[in-house]
Amino acid sequence: MYNVTKKEQLNPDICLVEFEAPDIAKAARAGQFIILRIDEKGERFPLTIYDYDVKKGTVCVVCQAVGVSTKKLCALNKNDFILDVAGPLGHAVSTEKIGNIICIGGGVGTAEAYPITKAYKESGNEVKVIIGARNKSLLICEKELKSLGVELYVATDDGSYGRKGFVTDVLKELLSKQKYDLIYAIGPIVMMKAVSQAAKPYNIKTLVSLNSIMIDGTGMCGGCRIKYNNESKFTCVDGPEFDASLIDFDELIKRQGRFSDKEKLALHEYECRLGFKH
Ligand SMILES: Cc1cc2nc3c(=O)[nH]c(=O)nc-3n(C[C@H](O)[C@H](O)[C@H](O)COP(=O)(O)OP(=O)(O)OC[C@H]3O[C@@H](n4cnc5c(N)ncnc54)[C@H](O)[C@@H]3O)c2cc1C
Ligand code: FES
């Protein structure tokens, strides 16, 4: 059992949860993720490690409530418990000095871009960050990213804050002005695909952190399989970071929706149960 030590609502759908997990905090590196199960009836689901504190023995995640498991996590409060946490899983980001880097985060991916940006800054890289959301009220982690000392650009779809448009509009502008050594994007799959396409003419290495459906997280079930450079790869053990130019994004988008009927039904039943309780 993992004791929740902090819970903060970042926007109506996204919360930050910190919990005690000293062994995971000791081993965690930027870019890795954990797999959680909230209660006995819960499904296993992956979340990126947003931050960790070895001294306090805590791990922090930022979670968008989209279905039953994520809603259950976001409903927890300080001193509640999470049943199981496995991790850290997946490969960490490189800690080499690369040069000029653009990090991009969209939606809840903005929180996932935070540890990546921090790791690249700590390795002595020049990092510019572009973050995006549908509107101002949904934007998260702006202050935290700014505190890393990066040049930060904000785009909102409706123009309610920062520049009106998509993160790719800002990206294209930056790419037209200066040479970069690496682009790293994390967010909705369609956004990562668009970033990859925008970067292609400039021939800049573009990495993305994939959020394909995972079940066991150990390379055994095949749930997170993607087509990569015409071969099969498992996001949980081979990733989650991949070279965007080699990913078959269209297949990934199709696979991501394969349980949508069951997910809708599970959410409906969960919300009915909650309604019944209240
Ligand atoms: C490596 C990795 C890191 C992630 N990090 C974060 C994070 O930091 N914050 C965050 O909010 N979300 C993150 N996600 C996505 C998160 O795991 C899903 O939103 C969550 O599993 C949805 O479960 P649910 O029961 O709430 O919703 P469901 O109703 O089950 O599903 C809603 C949607 O979430 C996706 N999904 C469902 N089950 C899984 C699963 N087991 N694995 C991956 N995606 C799934 C599907 O696209 C589905 O349509 C990450 C996913 C991966 C693979
Ligand atoms: S989640 Fe089972 S193989 Fe990756």
Tell me: the pLDDT tens digits for 6-19? 999 999 899 999 99
Cα 62 from Cα 64, distance rounded (Å): 7
As a whole number of angstroms, the distance between CA 244 and CA 97 comes to 20
- Point out the ligand nearest to the CA of residue 242: 1
What separation in Å is there between the alpha carbon of 24 and the centre of ligand 2? 20
162, pLDDT greater than 80: yes
Q: Model-level pTM?
A: 0.92
pLDDT of residue 215: 87
Q: Minimal CA–CA distance to 184: which of 52, 94, 248, 124?
A: 94
> And the tokens for 79?
């001193």
How confident is the model at residue 278, as a pLDDT?
A: 42
Among 63, 141, 209, 211, the mutation site with the greatest number of ligand 1 atoms within 8 A of its Cβ is 211
Using the CB atoms, write b or e for 63-95: b if 16+ within 10 Å: bbbebbbbbbbbebeeebebeebbbbbbebbbe
Ligand with smallest separation from the Cα of 47 = 1
Residue 272 in this model has a pLDDT that exceeds 90: no
- Ligand 2 centre to CA of 130 (Å) is 30
d(CA 34, CA 196): 26
The mean predicted confidence, pLDDT, of the chain is 93
Ligand 2: centre distance to CA 225 (Å): 7
pLDDT for 255 beyond 90:
no
Q: Which ligand 2 atom is at minimum distance from the Cα of 213?
A: 1
Contact 109, 187 (CB under 8 A): yes
Ligand 1 atom at shortest distance from the alpha carbon of 47: 5
Tell me which ligand sits closest to the C-alpha of residue 222: 2
Ligand 1 centroid to residue 46 C-alpha, Å = 6
Q: Which residue has the higher pLDDT, 273 or 165?
A: 165
CA dihedral 174, 177, 181, 184 (to 10 degrees): 10
Closest of 221, 213, 237, 193 to residue 67, by C-alpha: 213
pLDDT at 124 over 90: yes
pLDDT, tens digit (0-9, with 9 covering 90-100), for 53-62 = 999 999 999 9
- State pLDDT tens for residues 196-252: 999 999 999 999 999 888 888 999 999 999 999 999 999 999 999 999 999 999 999
DSSP characters over the chain = -EEEEEEEESSSSEEEEEEE-HHHHHH--TT-EEEEE-STTPPPEEEE--EEETTTTEEEEEEE--SHHHHHHHT--TT-EESEEEEEESPPPP-S--SEEEEEEETTHHHHHHHHHHHHHHTT-EEEEEEEESSGGG---HHHHHTTT-EEEEEETTSSSSEES-HHHHHHHHHHHS--SEEEEES-HHHHHHHHHHHGGGT--EEEE-----SSSSSSS-TTEEEETTEEEEHHHH-SEEEGGGB-HHHHHHHHTTTHHHHHHHHHHHHHHHHHH-
The yes-or-no verdict on residue 263 having pLDDT over 90 is: no
232: Cβ below 6 Å to ligand 2? no
Task: Give me the domains of the chain, ranges plus CATH numbers.
Answer: 2-89 (2.40.30.10), 100-209 (3.40.50.80)
Distance 120 CA to ligand 1 centre (A): 25
Residues with CB under 6 A from ligand 1: 33, 43, 45-48, 61-64, 66-70, 108, 112, 211-214, 240, 256, 260, 263, 267
Ligand at shortest distance from the CA of 235: 2
